[in-house]
A and B are shown apart, each in its own frame.
Chain A
Amino acid sequence: MSAALSLSGVVAGIGPLTILQGVDLEVGEGEVVVVLGANGAGKTTLLRTIAGLLAPRAGSIRLRGEEIAGRPAHRITRAGIGHVPSGRELFPRLSVGDHLELGGQVCAPARRAELRASVLEMFPVLAERLGQRAGTLSGGEQQMVAIARALMTDPRVLLLDEPSTGLAPRIVLSVFQTFPALRKQGVSILLAEQSLTLGLSAADRAYVMDHGRMVLSGTAAELAGDKRVADTYLGR
């Protein structure tokens, strides 16, 4: 059986800069994997490359065995990569309900209704805010909208780019508490996270990224006790 998502030798960058220097990574079916790394390690670039917002210069990106590297980004979304980008990228003047509709337009109507029900069950507060403009929501609610929008595309793999940014720890935990339910629905998760403890608490397995390369990997439990992880962060 092939992994939900597998990358091998992925090289990518912006303009003249090469940021990802040959990244290998695997996310199993139903697995929650975290990519840890300091600011500037290349986590966002990695997620943007998987989502197709940046075209890889070399290497392979497979979604359930199917090569998706180099496809247009909107096709990659449709192929089953849900992306919760850094900065959330909501539509400030559209309502919460519009966000769900726009995310769901890639699915058949019956599936859309199912997804909508399950998303609103996961984030009940959004059900009360359906008519409200996204720009007027609190940070935590905006993060929920971004996740809900991505889930409405019926993804096989959900990419979460530092969902903890700017949120109170209590709200971050409530976001992470949705992972078991997603896993049950067959959604695999790739989380990029700066905070070691937060990231390791939420994941099955972890990679540590530094200067565009994966320098360590292992189960969350292994890495939690590995002092090399902290050393990478401190640049030692």
Chain B
Amino acid sequence: MLALQLLVNGVLLGGLYVLVAQSLNLIFGVMGVVNLAHGAVIALAGLFTYWFTAQTGASPLLAVPIAFVAAALAGAVGQRLLIEPVMRAGGSKSELLSLIVTFGLSYILIELALQLFGADFVSVPYLQSSWTLGSLAFGKALVVAGAFAAGMSALLYLWLNHTMSGKALLAASQSPTGAICCGIDVARVRVTAFAIGVGLAAAAGALVIVIMPVAPQTAADLNLLAFVIIALGGLGDYVGVAIAAVLLGIAQSVAGYYLGGNAEYVLPYVLLLAVMVALPGRFRRVR
């Protein structure tokens, strides 16, 4: 029974991780932008959600669409004014350049979060009871956040694979020249991908804070988490990343129970090192 409980908790946590990673996957896999500001966006959105719920008393779920829209707009502007010019000037070094630019951007965002919300860890009290099924207990907040996040990831997947605009995005990532040969406006597709990626990261942030405390410095951990999942699942591989996210959720839930909270915290770092040593080609884009 204990094993089952750990499994369920892990899967729910994994549902949230899918969204954390998939939004990065979109930006990294589709556009070749190594977005180190990803974790900062998630943390900032989480802290915004804390402020928003404290001010209005509204459900944190209401903060999800607000964070999504605001971040997507900011992402679109940032992509046009900052990322795209850098990527265009960078040529073959554009991925490295994007890493440096977004690294700087992440510091700006973290500093902004410190100024706006302070340095403390905060959390949003939301649905703090549990549903029970036999001897299993499901934390309501974890169920809602995990299901909501997994649902958004599923929508992203359906959009990419079953609509023309989504396929145009995949096409532009697999061959920009080929996409142009189809009459696709690749520049517009890239703005859309970036905006949606940043928006989804913010949506993930609004859900993360429901189940774990967040502070501006959480940004680094969230970055690492997302990169580990993408490395495990395969860059640009949406199904692989979803599976990796759930497996990491389960691994963390099991490690946290048997080895304690520190092990749970260290696990992504250990996995990242293991992946980089065992599968050094994992960060290459899937072609």
Residues of A within 8 A of B (CB): 51-53, 72-75, 77-78, 82-85, 88-94, 98, 101-103, 105-106, 135, 149-150, 152-153
Which of these, A75, A89, A93, A98, contacts B181 with CB under 8 Å?
A: A89
Q: Are B182 and A106 in contact (CB under 8 A)?
A: yes
Which of these, A52, A75, A102, contacts B182 with CB under 8 Å?
A: A102
Q: Are B175 and A91 in contact (CB under 8 A)?
A: yes
Q: Are A77 and B180 in contact (CB under 8 A)?
A: yes
Q: Are A93 and B168 in contact (CB under 8 A)?
A: no
Q: Are B181 and A105 in contact (CB under 8 A)?
A: no
Given A92-B287, A94-B174, A102-B171, A85 contacting B164 (CB threshold 8 A): no
Residues of B within 8 A of A (CB): 164, 167-168, 170-171, 174-175, 177-186, 236, 286-287
Given A92-B287, A94-B167, A94-B170, A105 contacting B182 (CB threshold 8 A): yes
Cα(A101)–Cα(B162), bound, Å = 11
Cα(A90)–Cα(B179), bound, Å = 9
Q: Are B180 and A102 in contact (CB under 8 A)?
A: no
Majority secondary structure of chain B interface residues (helix, strand, loop or mixed): helix
Chain B residues whose CB sits within 8 angstroms of the CB of A78 once the complex forms: 183
Residue of A nearest to B181 (CB): A83
Which of these, B168, B177, B286, contacts A102 with CB under 8 Å?
A: B168
Chain B residues whose CB sits within 8 angstroms of the CB of A149 once the complex forms: 178, 181-182
Residue of B nearest to A79 (CB): B183
Which of these, A53, A84, A91, contacts B180 with CB under 8 Å?
A: A53
Given A92-B287, A93-B286, A102 contacting B184 (CB threshold 8 A): yes
Q: Are B182 and A103 in contact (CB under 8 A)?
A: yes
Residue of A nearest to B188 (CB): A74
CB distance from B16 to the nearest CB of A (A): 27
**The 5 A-B residue pairs with the shortest CB-CB distance in the complex, in nearest-first order:** A89-B178, A77-B183, A91-B174, A106-B183, A102-B182
Q: Which residue, of B164, B178, B179, B184, has the highest number of chain A Cβ atoms within 10 A?
A: B178
Q: Are B181 and A85 in contact (CB under 8 A)?
A: yes
Q: Are A74 and B183 in contact (CB under 8 A)?
A: yes
Q: Which residue, of B171, B182, B185, has the highest number of chain A Cβ atoms within 10 A?
A: B182
Chain A residues whose CB sits within 8 angstroms of the CB of B185 once the complex forms: 72, 74
Q: Are A53 and B177 in contact (CB under 8 A)?
A: yes
Chain B residues whose CB sits within 8 angstroms of the CB of A92 once the complex forms: 174, 287
**7 further interface pairs, Cβ-Cβ under 8 Å (given A85-B177, A93-B170, A94-B171):** A74-B183, A77-B180, A83-B181, A85-B178, A93-B174, A149-B178, A153-B181
Chain A residues whose CB sits within 8 angstroms of the CB of B236 once the complex forms: 93
Chain A residues whose CB sits within 8 angstroms of the CB of B174 once the complex forms: 90-94
Residue of B nearest to A93 (CB): B174
CB distance from A145 to the nearest CB of B (A): 10
Chain A residues whose CB sits within 8 angstroms of the CB of B180 once the complex forms: 51-53, 73-74, 77, 83
